[in-house]
Amino acid sequence: MHGRPRKPQKPVDDASIAKAAKLRVLQAQFFQNHHDKIYAKEALEISAKLLETNPEAYTAWNYRKLAVEHNLRSETDPDAIKAVLDEELRVVESALRRNFKCYGAWHHRKWVLNKGYSSVDHEFRLLDQFQKADSRNFHAWSYRRFVAALKNMSEEEELKYTTDMIETNFSNYSAWHNRSVLLSHLLKQKIEGFTPREKVLTEEYELVHQALFTDPDDQSGWFYHFWLLDQTVTPGAPVLVSSWPAHGSDLFVSFKGNLDGGVSSSFTSFCSDKGAFPLIIYFNQSVGGINSSTVTVKHLFDKNEDLIWVPLATNNSGNAQAWVTFLRFPDVKDDSLKAYPVEVKVGHSQCAFTVSLRSIDSKHGEGGSDMEMIVWKDDSFHASEPLLLSPPVVSLDQATTNKEPEQIDSRWHEETLANEIALFQELLSEINCKIGKLTLARLLRAHDKMIYKMPFADEKTHSKEVLDLFSDLMKLDPSHSRYYKDEHSLVLMEQVVSNRESLLTYCWKYGEAHPSYLCNPICLRLSKLSLSRIGSFENLLWVQMLDLSHNELWSIEGLEAMQLLSCLNLSNNKLRSFTALEPLKLLKSLKVLNISYNEIGAHSIDTSRYLFSSPLSHTVGDDWNIDAYVTDGVKMNYWEAAVIFKGLYLTQLDVVGNAIVDEKFNLFLTHILPSLVWLDGDRVY
């Protein structure tokens, strides 16, 4: 384990054979006593010998608990009780000296100490011995936290202990980890001596620098530095970073068909046949508890308390970065546009926009352009005329207009990141360190995100340097290349949406005629960028037509935040199963989907589902009602596809080029999707 080579097995000799025979005799005697519930002194001695020989005999530890409880039922003398428990501590100590990483022994010792008859001071002396033998023994560190809590030792004292252990050995990962746990509590509680926060973190940076520059190849200090970086850049409370409609925008909404004129090419137009439009709010981190009491929406028609907020996530935790509700407006009696103001307030964050309604009879009924097939070829798209309105690109703080004083400070954050960047650039100029390159990439990304919020900062980005770092890491560390590739893709996405000028180069107008549900014919074309992951969703909430074809996507997690999506092209990627498409279940506006030429059905087991599950969910599929797709007692062969597509109202679907596709599967699709008009380019009759 932990990079250490296995020792070659020793040949079996007569002593080993005799030892094994003795162990079998002890086990037979022990199990007989356990079965007969014999808890006499002789029986306890047999279990003690068994545990001293084999500390991993968990049943023997459970037996001793039962024996102690049995023998103490009639005992009232405190000294006698203490003697019984001291014997348990002796047996545990003997077992630990044979194997001090035995879970059962440490758990038994905690159980004994919880009885309240034993000396806690002795435990600290014992821990000193074990931690001298192996200062990184996480069992001993966990037990130390337990004992410190029993003795009511202050976290300041324990923090001082981690300092001593680190100064003795910079490579003590467990001490660094324990330090992060203790310091998190002290900073959160604002204990005297641990404020201001900036001063404490600056001292921690100085401490970890000693470790990193002493031995750059040791990972212990690097992991602590990651924790420090997180403390530096993560706000103490969730922040509203974007919304749709965007802060300050003028939204044009039609409830009966296409919007005409210049409005139809606007980035802030939306068509709905449901008498409502979505209001999406997006936070910098996953949050829960979003409801009418925590979010106030001021507008003329719906009551705030009637709004129902839904988390946009594929798990069942009730937490999400993106949340949606729907605002209802009455029918408009005339064709005149009238602007209605809307204000949204979430804690100390707020955004405001206006909505202009228009009722227009659709000119495209049955047999019209609604039935026309979306074609994803290059000649279907063209550069549109200069747009009066630009795509809404927000910085991390644009929608936040009122903040607590603690959130405003920021010069220290920018200066700290700049200092760390300079230090590691100097270090990497002298050595080739993989984890150093990764740290520098994270620092540069954090700095770039922060400068958009600081008017005094030097507004230049490091995107190219970060991309180069992740490219180097893919070559230097091929065993983790998939992680580096994903990070490279996320940075590339950030670069694409970093400003309106950049984003506009990827925006193309689709054809001259388009279906009525596609009120905004602007397609965001992110094809052929070698993306393995997608991100920056806070800047893409407005997108209704998205082309992600010819990339290397194996996951589309996060896409569920893009509630306006009606046309999506995922062809020629590396999606391995229908499980990877789970975010589509939440995209109720989706009409056109192209998943052709992926790897669906080519793999018998979707291992990526388990090895690389969504950060938002580790319970993928728990809410799937499989029984709804059982026919004659036999589950359908395509149940995964059924759970994804059931509830969607697709009019066009392309699946050709996947291993699962055959005539039987296509027949199944027409059954599960009665709204389907086009399948793989052919009209469904």
Q: Which residues contact 534 (CB under 8 A, 6 or more apart)?
A: 489, 493, 526, 548, 553, 556, 558, 559
**Lowest pLDDT segment from 139-153, 592-606, 628-642:** 628-642
Local confidence band at 613 (pLDDT 50, 70, 90 cut-offs): very low
CB burial of 537-573 (b: ≥16 within 10 Å; e: otherwise) equals bbbbbbbbbbbbbbbbbbbbbbbbbbbbbbbbbbbbb
Closest CA to 491 of 444, 440, 525: 444
Give residue 385's pLDDT. 59
What DSSP designation does 550 have?
A: S
Residue 93 sits at the vertex; the CA angle it makes with 87 and 95, to the nearest 5 degrees, is 105
Domains of the chain by range and CATH?
1-118 (1.25.40.120), 405-493 (no CATH), 505-683 (3.80.10.10)
pLDDT tens string 625-638: 555 554 544 446 78
Look at residue 610 and tell me whether its pLDDT is greater than 50.
Answer: no
Separation of CA 455 from chain center: 30
Identify the residue whose tokens are 């979003």. Answer: 290
Give residue 634's pLDDT. 41
- For residue 524, the SS3 value is strand
On whether the CB atoms of residues 477 and 352 are closer than 8 A, the answer is no
Closest CA to 158 of 191, 117, 198: 191
Give residue 334's pLDDT. 55
- For residue 566, the SS3 value is coil
CA dihedral 593, 599, 603, 604 (to 10 degrees): 30
Identify the residue whose tokens are 């798209």. Answer: 381
* Number of other residues whose CB lies within 10 A of the CB of residue 351: 25
pLDDT tens string 202-227: 999 999 999 999 999 889 999 999 99
Of 603 and 82, the structure prediction assigns the larger pLDDT to: 82
Report the first-to-last Cα separation within the chain, whole angstroms: 60
Identify the residue whose tokens are 């080739």. Answer: 432
Cα(685)–Cα(356) distance, integer angstroms: 39
* Percent of the chain scoring above 70 in pLDDT: 81
On whether the CB atoms of residues 187 and 227 are closer than 8 A, the answer is no
- For residue 448, the SS3 value is helix
Report the interhelical angle of 78-98 vs 41-53 (nearest 10°).
30
Cα(131)–Cα(143) distance, integer angstroms: 11
CB burial of 28-59 (b: ≥16 within 10 Å; e: otherwise) equals ebbeebbeeeebeeebbebbbbbbeebbebee
pLDDT tens string 540-573: 999 999 999 999 999 999 999 999 999 999 999 9
Local confidence band at 450 (pLDDT 50, 70, 90 cut-offs): confident
Local confidence band at 264 (pLDDT 50, 70, 90 cut-offs): very low
Give residue 266's pLDDT. 59
Q: Which residues pair with 567 in a beta bridge?
A: 545, 592
Q: What is the average pLDDT score of the chain?
A: 84
Local confidence band at 1 (pLDDT 50, 70, 90 cut-offs): very low
Look at residue 77 and tell me whether its pLDDT is greater than 60.
Answer: yes
Cα(43)–Cα(39) distance, integer angstroms: 6
Of 421 and 237, the structure prediction assigns the larger pLDDT to: 421
What DSSP designation does 40 have?
A: S
pTM for this prediction:
0.83
Give residue 314's pLDDT. 84
Cα(507)–Cα(510) distance, integer angstroms: 10
Look at residue 617 and tell me whether its pLDDT is greater than 60.
Answer: no
pLDDT tens string 355-408: 887 655 444 444 444 568 999 999 989 876 555 455 666 544 444 444 444 444
What does the block give as tokens for 340? 């209605």
pLDDT tens string 336-369: 567 888 999 998 888 888 888 765 544 444 444 4
Give residue 228's pLDDT. 95
What does the block give as tokens for 561? 């935040």
Give residue 395's pLDDT. 47
Give residue 277's pLDDT. 86
Of 12 and 441, the structure prediction assigns the larger pLDDT to: 441
* Number of other residues whose CB lies within 10 A of the CB of residue 652: 22
